[in-house]
Amino acid sequence: MTQDFVVQIIYQGVILVLLLSLPTVGVGLLVGFAISLFQAVTQIQEQTLTFVPKVIAVFLMLAFTSPWMVSLLVDFTNTLWAGIPAMVR
């Protein structure tokens, strides 16, 4: 196992983490921006108004994208397990 091989595995893992977190973080960002805009227009400064919609939106996004996320994780894990013989040499 060379240093380049290890760096490639770590790089693929980081890209996978970014790819998996992008939908939920993006939805949280968009909902937070919309709620902040609504609060600025109406001058309502309630803390729970920002927290509850973001949590609901993130959980819904996780529910909708979980099959896709699991399939990506399973593919990455299968690739790592299949590569074990090459790693030992």
Output the pTM of the full model: 0.79
Question: Alpha-carbon distance 55 to 72, whole Å?
Answer: 24
Average pLDDT of the segment spanning 46-72: 92
Distance CA 11, CA 8 (A): 5
pLDDT of residue 72: 96
Q: Which of 17-31, 41-55, 72-86 has the lowest mean pLDDT?
A: 41-55
DSSP one-letter code for 83: T
Residue 5 pLDDT exceeds 90: no
Q: Which is it for the CA torsion 56, 61, 64, 68, positive or negative? A: negative
Res 27 pLDDT > 80: yes
Domains of the chain by residue range? 3-77
